[in-house]
Amino acid sequence: MKEKETKDQEKNNELTPEEFKEMWNKVSSQIQVKERKKKVKLISALAVVVLLGLLSIVGYNRVIRPDVYMAERTPIDLELKDGTKVRLLEGGKLSVEKSFPAEVREVRLDGNAIFNVTKSMNHPFIVHANRYQTKVLGTVFKITQANKDFKVDLYEGEVAIAKNGDTDGVYLLHPQETFNNYGNVKVVAISSMVKDPANKVEQRKEKSGGSIRLQFNGCRLKDALLVVENTYDVQINFPGSYGEKMISIDLTGMPVEAVLQNMALSLGLQLKFNANDQIYQLEK
């Protein structure tokens, strides 16, 4: 009797097809709702990440990334926030930090440019170019560079030039002077600017030695003599076996004969001059 009642009870508890379908739909609906909530949360999280990324990019471009100016085909004229005027020559690139002008006014130059710097005794202006930095308070100057060559022509005021990381070797230029490394960081050549490079008489007169400073720091003799030739517009012969010998010497305010005599003595050579060919000869 009890078994019959139990079976009848189980039979009554069984779901009809309609009830099962209704229950399945409810469960499916609940599962879909939960899945949608998960998707919404995931999409929201991704949206926040993307938004933060975009904001960081915008913030970097507006607050951190330097302003970059390029003169691709023709020179362009710029005026910086401090009033400094820059003529960026063809192929030149100038990078200016967003913080400019700060306590120290700094820019980075690739290529060639002419600067007319607004004077400020309390805020030095520094141009980082090649392996050098040119520091001024207010002046007009031109920087020319290509590969390792670095040259500064000073028109007005004063500039101080130093190799990056070298606090001892600082070179001061006065108006109408030129700094040139002739493509060698071990070379310093400071001389008067030549107004007419084609005028050889004027060139020799201005390069008689009075304002010329040459400095060689562990430089090969053949490289040093090439600098002397370019600076004084002379021709120099020397023993080929001495070309790789190193020379370190500071020569200031000397005519070419004195320069070569000092270089010859430091290497145990003799200096001779061929008046007919106008050629200086270093001999053993």
Name every residue whose Cβ is closer than 8 Å to that of residue 112 and which is 6 or more positions away in sequence.
Answer: 89, 90, 91, 92, 142, 143, 144, 145
Please say whether the dihedral angle defined by the alpha carbons of residues 267, 268, 274 and 277, taken in this order, is positive or negative. Answer: negative
Write out the two tokens for 135. Answer: 């520091």
Write out the two tokens for 193. Answer: 């600017």
Name every residue whose Cβ is closer than 8 Å to that of residue 139 and which is 6 or more positions away in sequence.
Answer: 115, 117, 154, 155, 156, 157, 158, 159
135 vs 160: CA distance, rounded Å: 5
Mapping DSSP onto H, E and C, the string for the chain reads: CHHHHHHHHHHHHCCCHHHHHHHHHHHHHHHHHHHHHHHHHHHHHHHHHHHHHHHHHHHHHHHHCCEEEECCCCCEEEECCCCCEEEECCCCEEEECCCCCCCCEEEEEECCEEEECCCCCCCCEEEEECCEEEEECCCEEEEEEECCEEEEEEEECCEEEEECCCCCCEEEECCCEEEECCCCCCEEEEEECCCCCCCHHHHHHHCCCCCCEEEEEEEEHHHHHHHHHHHHCCEEECCHHHCCCEEEEEEECCCHHHHHHHHHHHHCCEEEEECCCCEEEEEC
Burial tier of 97 (Cβ tally within 10 Å: 0-12, 13-18, 19+): middle
Sheet holding 235-237, edge to edge: 235-237, 279-283, 270-274
> pTM of the full predicted structure?
0.71
Do the beta carbons of residue 177 and residue 211 sit within 8 Å?
yes
pLDDT in tens, 154-211: 999 999 999 887 766 789 999 999 999 999 999 999 998 865 555 555 555 555 556 7
The predicted pLDDT at position 60 comes to 43
179 vs 268: CA distance, rounded Å: 29
pLDDT class for 2, splitting at 50, 70, 90? very low
Residue predicted with more confidence, 46 or 231? 231
> Dihedral through CA 231, CA 235, CA 236, CA 241, nearest 10?
100
The predicted pLDDT at position 102 comes to 84
pLDDT class for 153, splitting at 50, 70, 90? very high
Name every residue whose Cβ is closer than 8 Å to that of residue 206 and which is 6 or more positions away in sequence.
Answer: 191, 192, 194
pLDDT class for 33, splitting at 50, 70, 90? low
6 vs 10: CA distance, rounded Å: 6
pLDDT in tens, 83-111: 999 999 999 999 999 888 888 899 999 99
Residue predicted with more confidence, 242 or 16? 242
Domains of the chain: 65-157 (2.60.120.1440), 181-284 (3.55.50.30)
Do the beta carbons of residue 139 and residue 159 sit within 8 Å?
yes
Residue of 195, 274, 260 lying closest to 229 (CA atoms): 260
